[in-house]
Structure 1
Amino acid sequence: MTTPADLRVFLDAAARRPHSVGAIAPSAPQLCRRLAQIVPRTHVSTVVELGAGTGTVSDAIGERLVPGSRHLAIEIDPSLATRLQGRRPDLEVVVGDAADLRAILSERGVDRVDAVVSGLPWSLFPAAAQQRIMTAVAHVLAPGAGFATFAYLHALPLAGARGLRRLLHDTFDEVIASASVWRNLPPALTYTCRRPTVRSTWATPCVPTAYPAAHR
């Protein structure tokens, strides 16, 4: 649930980083639940969230996670990250750039993950940045894992949004666009993607990532 204090921190971050925080308000619960559907509910898993913000999507992810799972929330804005860590001390909040995803995970002993959920403002990113982040996502997904992100309806005709759609179809074998989420501000839709085509072979089957008990 977004509090007035959360909203103030979010708007401050948006003013400081207009090219990194593209929303005018945190995502609505309906959109958060739609994004979180990619998170497994049947087994212990490792989930990465990109652009965690104030944690509205984090909460929806947490509702689906099986006990013992690991949730890493990556946020580029330090103030948002600090706010989120204070509100959700159970999360592994990382201040960092989503483009450095593979390095961030490697530093924490993670090779592959069971889901990646993105709250990033793709339409604001240049094509090279979109490509770098998407390639990193594709390389960390375990077999059977999925990627979920969203786009605002009003931005769909923009070059950045069109580039994102092309990139998704170039990167994944399956890309499913949802119905519109009209209760979000602004209205949005989600993309659910599976089976990266940039990495078609794997040496070992998917297994839950081991980590210290302190993270449980």
Structure 2
Amino acid sequence: MPEHSERALFIREFARSPVRTASLLPSSPALAARMVAALPEHGDPVVVELGPGTGAFTEAIQRRLAGRGRHLAVEVNERMSAHLFRRFPGVEVVTAGADDLPDLLARRGIPAADLIVSGLPWTVYFGGPRPLVETMASVLAPAGALTQFTYAWTSWTPPARRQRAQLRAAFEEVVLSRTVWRNVPPAFVYVARRPRVSSAATAAAVPVGG
């Protein structure tokens, strides 16, 4: 799909559900590069992408993996999932919500993720049966990382501060990147490491389905 068509898809989905989509434009290559910088350069890592949208981060992940490992993209929007499936045949695209992550991994025999790349807006972090950050931390390998971006102009709002507090509660280390100015709007990237919640405990609690 040409770039202008992808942008049109993003705008249409924003108009349908601004809370879920949260932006009029896809993320820039500069932000995508910052989001995937924590991906291991060697081995066969498992990468879980949440809220991939039209695939700005998906493309960067695939380029960095270069055929290695496993890449699971979890997108709640059916139209965007269909687009991702067509554009990235080597990616395991799943239409589901991020709250289902432990079960999605268990069903695929994945014990833990090495990297979670989250393009989710802060609006979806709250209101579920369990803090979403805890769910993410619970499926990460002990040496894994979570990357989450936030727009610079919203970073000091109460919801953004609450999101930051949840990250710090779920991870021993949370680092905020420099501003990515080559994005509209400018953004930061959180890199969270050393999850406080054991992935092994979660795997034992979630039955493996067919």
Same fold (TM over 0.5): yes
How far apart, in 1, do the equivalents of 2:62 and 2:83 lie? 17
Q: Which runs of 5+ in 2 are unaligned?
A: 202-210
How far apart, in 2, do the equivalents of 1:150 and 1:111 lie? 25
CA RMSD of aligned residues (A): 1.9
What's the CA shift for 1:126?
5.8
- Is 1:2–1:54's contact at 8 Å kept on the other side of the alignment? no
**Counterpart position of 1:190:** 189
Deviations 1:168-215 (A, max 9, x none): 11111000000001111111000001001233x859xxxxxxxxxxxx
**Counterpart position of 1:69:** 69
**Counterpart position of 1:115:** 115
**Counterpart position of 1:7:** 7
Deviations 1:97-148 (A, max 9, x none): 01111111112221211110000001x2363349532111111111211110
SS state at 1:110 partner: coil
Q: Which runs of 5+ in 1 are unaligned?
A: 204-216
SS state at 1:13 partner: helix
**Counterpart position of 1:155:** 154
**Counterpart position of 1:41:** 41
* Equivalent residue pairs, number: 201
Q: Give the structure-1-normalised TM-score.
A: 0.87
**1:95-134 → structure 2 map (5 Å cutoff):** 95-122=95-122, 124-125=123-124, 127-129=126-128, 132-134=131-133
- Decide which moves more: 129-138 or 185-194: 129-138
SS state at 1:184 partner: coil
What's the CA shift for 1:67?
2.9
Distance 1:132-1:76 versus aligned 2 partners, 3 A rule: same
- Is 1:42–1:66's contact at 8 Å kept on the other side of the alignment? no
- Decide which moves more: 190-199 or 50-59: 190-199
How far apart, in 2, do the equivalents of 1:54 and 1:126 lie? 20
**Counterpart position of 2:204:** none
Q: Give the structure-2-normalised TM-score.
A: 0.90
Name the % identity.
Answer: 37
SS state at 2:193 partner: strand
How far apart, in 1, do the equivalents of 2:72 and 2:45 lie? 11
How far apart, in 1, do the equivalents of 2:57 and 2:95 lie? 17
Counterpart residue identity of residue 94, structure 1 = V
